[in-house]
Chain A
Amino acid sequence: MKRSKDPESQAQPKGLSRRGFIRGVGLSGGAVGLLHPEGEAAPAPAVLGPGPVPITLLVNGKPHKLEVEPRVTLLDALRDRLDLTGAKRVCDRGTCGACTVILGGKAVYACSVLAIDAQGKPIQTVEGINAGGRLHPVASAFVNQDALQCGFCTPGFVMAAKAFLDRNPNPTLEQVRKGLGGNLCRCGTYVGIRQAVLEAAKQMRGGARNV
């Protein structure tokens, strides 16, 4: 079944299926049928929206209850509702990576995840990994290597780099160049970023704090 292949839908709380969401925001029955041919036979899920619905997001270790329309992205929920503005809105279409957060241990573009779909999994933002005035080794390496200019892509890069290093603690330069291909910078800070990720890897292997 299509749904069983979708890891994100497995983590959803009861009554909040993607199918329910799609119906809730009022797509036509034909479109639902196209997306979910099994939809006709399944029991009717609770309709959500189109108005605001209560959701709970587990952000940086704390649950946050808020009410958003089902169409609100995780990015807009973080920025506009929780004032967590580290993740930036740049392309808003899953290209540039400036909105990268870590959802359930995986780097995601927060502009391309709906807030209601982000429930039930831990969400880490750039504020979370740098909490308490202490910089995460990745962030600190970005400062040391001057891997930033205007800084607007930087939080996304920091989060992408952290997720990358969590899976590849000892990368080669070549792996860094491939592994951070999902983020874009306009000022041209890639030379510093390459060095920063290698420096952070070294620091983190050496037993520095690893959130």
Chain B
Amino acid sequence: MSEPNYRWPARDKRRVMGTRVNRIDGPAKVSGRGKYGSDINQPGMLFAALLTCPHAHARVRSVDIKEAQALKGVTAVEVMSGPGTVIQWAGTEVAAVAALTEEIARDAVRRIKVDYEVLSHAVKEEDLKAAGGRSKPAGEVLVGDPDDAFKKADVISEGEYGIPVLQHCCLEPHGQVVMWKGDTIEYWPSTQNVSGIGGDLAQSLSIPAANVHVRQDHVGGGFGSKFSADRWGVVAAKLSKASGGRPVKLFLDRRTELEIAGSRPSGFARIRLGARKDGTIIAWESQSWGTSGPGGGGVAATQLPYVFVNIPNKRVNHTGVITHTGPARAWRAPNHPQASFLTCCAIEDLAAKLNLDPLEVFDRNFQYTARPEVYRAQLRKAAELSEWEKLWHPRGQAGPGPVKRGLGIGVATWGGLGHASDCRTTIHPDGSVEVELGSQDLGTGTRTVIAMVAAETLGLSVGQIQVKIGDNRYPPSGGSGGSTTVGGVAVSTRKSTMNALQKLLEAVAPALGVSADQLEAVDGRIQVRGNPAKSLTWKAACQKLGVKPIVEMGRNDPKNPMGMISQGVGGIQIADVSVDVETGVVKLNRLVAVQDCGLIINPKTAESQVYGACIMSICGALFEERIMCQQTGRFLNADMEFYKLAGIDDIGEIIVHLDITPEHDARGVIGLGEPPVVPGIAAIANAVANAIGVRVPRVPLTPDRVLAALEGRRA
């Protein structure tokens, strides 16, 4: 038989894919039965605690662990930043202790004496002039002739905008349980990277990757910050070994989690736009800056102008600012939310300056994007759902009364091509089916999507598929980053289950008196194509296998997507806010998200991704920011009381519209985790400007910033 046709069934032929399926790990999670890394309790398990550095910049002179070692119940102490180490950010791990209980481990940490030579620090980057020698200019990007274009422009609009460092703030902190006994390591991390993290740990410990066994049923959030084993993984393994191979649990406390386990680069920019009277942009000039921590960095200037990449005349400069702060990690759609905010605010300000409806100005400039027609259609849809025609007014003309309503637009783009993934399907003679991948479900619904693809292919129900993920002994699958998981696992599962089915059809063909290529799997039966009367039940068909199960592999190769996956989506969001100009409080009335998405396997969990992304944007627009103190060098709000996230009453109404159409469906599966988290901050910031008549240059749009912007106007 030739290679099976792996292509997705036609839309009208799908029985499982495209239906709204409850996530299959839901019952385990809602009942508390599901085990996360931090829930693992092993016999004889020890608890570890970290000593972290209180200084943002310091040289370690000495570390004295004797008193800690002497404490009853302590089994091992490891120094992580020995004498001579220069600490570059507060919260850096200095030593770790393993003990019989967490309380004893914490007591022991307090007994460690560290002598620091405190060095001068700099933790702020908002003011580029103050950065001095900490500035790292990235070099100019020049396209066309911006100077000439600005001269020819009918109008020049200028603005300054800023978006701060945010933290991942995963609810499950980073950490692991690890047991290093003899030559082998049993490892229960909290990770986005089940197939890869074992090798990372092994490399740090100079042992063979094959000796590390990784297991993880569930992970309590990652958002881009949980790919590597990290120093806490390495030290936990060493503590285990030093404690005779007893398992060690080490998870970061909340302050440390926020200080060192991941942040998103900030982005500030002065942007100048030259345009014609009708709003067509002819020139872009930006000087941006920001920080990713000790490396400088900041939002990637290559992302500016965002989406409107083909503006003909551009001058783009960026300066990274070095700070003594915890380093950045990939954060759900790296660089995109910041770049969208900076770009869309500048365009909205241009529209206001020209007294034009921003709907018209965005639409006109979509000519500079990779997919003008997609954006135009999405903008029309978002305008309709947000009642733009009825509710929009020119900037600042919100009418009398202290509560001003306004609307604003944000745009997005993302890739989302499925990553490399291998899948193994086993059909047992009793009819049970196992599908195994070294993947992980971050809460995006990966398990459910795998089950749905397998069920679709085998003509079974979702409940008949046993999905096994979260173990590095299963065939390898990529880490979950870049919205690459759904495409990767969907294709490898499709191919693997189809290969297995082909073997089954070959085995049962003689019994049905036809050749295998005349058979199909439908509704729990193997039948002669189009003839349910000539069929076997799934169970009876599998019994024909005798004693030997079918085991077949399937692989997604991103270089050869075979029309089953693709990449590149847009996305438009429109925010509707009310701002009390007496108190400065911004209330989100509504956020409309229009998102193209390719072929959607499970609309239910896909919509949840968009709802969640919108809520994350609301957090970033109105509440979240890392606040550094230049006096102490510390992260002032490294807790959940003052590092503010939106609560259930802060989010208004969210309207999600997925572009599920034949044209988009034909593109195949595309990742959806990241694109909808991009445009919301821009949309909300623009809605506030529209409502109150002035630009609040920095997010989050806290009452003090709103009032200050209003004062500036009056002054």
Contacts and interface: CB of A to CB of B under 8 A. Distances in A.
Interface of A: 69, 71-72, 76, 79-80, 83-93, 95-96, 98, 125-127, 130, 135, 139-140, 142-144, 146, 148-155, 158, 176-178, 180-181, 183-194
Given A181-B647, A191-B611, A194-B648, A90 B30 contact: no
A125 B221 CA distance: 22
A81 to B, nearest CB: 9
Given A86-B31, A188-B612, A190-B615, A152 B647 contact: no
Interface stretch (B34-42, B259-267, B321-329): B34-42
B171 A155 contact: no
Given A88-B39, A188-B615, 18 more contacts: A69-B103, A79-B39, A80-B41, A85-B41, A92-B254, A98-B171, A126-B30, A127-B32, A148-B23, A149-B612, A150-B218, A150-B221, A180-B648, A181-B648, A186-B169, A186-B223, A187-B221, A190-B646
A146 B648 contact: no
Interface stretch (B407-415, B548-556, B576-584, B637-645): B637-645
A79 B646 CA distance: 27
B21 to A, nearest CB: 10
A157 to B, nearest CB: 9
A78 B444 CA distance: 29
B29 A151 contact: yes
B602 to A, nearest CB: 9
B29 A186 contact: no
A22 B39 CA distance: 30
A177 to B, nearest CB: 4
A135 B169 contact: no
Nearest to B31: A130
Given A85-B35, A186-B645, A188-B614, A91 B639 contact: yes
Given A148-B26, A184-B645, A85 B171 contact: no
Contact of A93 (B616, B639, B649): B639
B22 interface: yes
Nearest to B651: A190
A149 B608 contact: yes
B572 interface: no
Nearest first, the 5 closest Cβ-Cβ pairs linking A and B are A86-B32, A188-B615, A152-B220, A188-B612, A149-B443
A88 B171 contact: yes
15 contacts: A69-B101, A85-B32, A85-B35, A91-B640, A127-B31, A130-B32, A139-B30, A146-B607, A151-B218, A185-B645, A189-B612, A190-B647, A191-B611, A191-B615, A192-B608
B574 interface: no
B171 A186 contact: yes
Contacts of A151: 25, 29-30, 34, 218, 220, 443
Nearest to A125: B32
B456 interface: no
Contacts of B169: 186
A98 B25 CA distance: 19
A154 B443 CA distance: 11
B102 interface: yes
Contacts of A69: 101, 103
B581 to A, nearest CB: 24
Contacts of B33: 86, 127, 130
Interface of B: 22-23, 25-27, 29-36, 38-39, 41, 47, 101-103, 169-173, 218-221, 223, 251, 253-254, 442-444, 604-605, 607-609, 611-616, 639-641, 645-649, 651, 654
Nearest to B605: A146
B32 A80 contact: no
Contacts of B639: 91, 93, 95
A126 B34 CA distance: 11
Nearest to B608: A146
Contacts of A177: 648-649
Contact of A96 (B171, B253, B443): B171
Nearest to A95: B640
A150 B648 contact: no
Contacts of B647: 181, 183-184, 190
A143 B23 contact: yes
Contact of B103 (A72, A98, A148, A152): A72
A127 B639 CA distance: 28
Contacts of B640: 90-91, 93, 95-96, 184
Contacts of A191: 611, 615, 651, 654
B30 A142 contact: yes
B608 A189 contact: yes
B654 A144 contact: no
A44 to B, nearest CB: 26
B170 A143 contact: no
Given A80-B41, A93-B640, A152-B220, A188 B613 contact: yes
Contacts of B221: 150, 152, 186-187
A145 to B, nearest CB: 9
Nearest to B35: A85
Contact of A126 (B31, B38, B41): B31
A80 B30 contact: no
Contacts of A87: 32
A74 B23 CA distance: 31
Given A80-B41, A93-B639, A190-B651, A155 B608 contact: no
A187 B649 contact: no
Nearest to A192: B608
Contacts of B645: 184-186
Nearest to A197: B648
B39 to A, nearest CB: 4
B220 A135 contact: no
A210 B444 CA distance: 30
B102 A80 contact: yes
Contacts of A178: 649
Given A93-B254, A191-B611, A154 B648 contact: no
A143 B22 contact: yes
A155 to B, nearest CB: 5
A51 to B, nearest CB: 10
Contacts of B218: 150-151
A180 B646 CA distance: 12
B648 A130 contact: no
Given A80-B102, A188-B613, A130 B39 contact: no
Contact of B443 (A95, A125, A150, A194): A150
B608 to A, nearest CB: 5
A16 to B, nearest CB: 19
B41 A83 contact: yes
Nearest to B24: A143
A114 B548 CA distance: 56
Contacts of B27: 135, 139, 143
B220 A158 contact: no
A87 B220 CA distance: 13
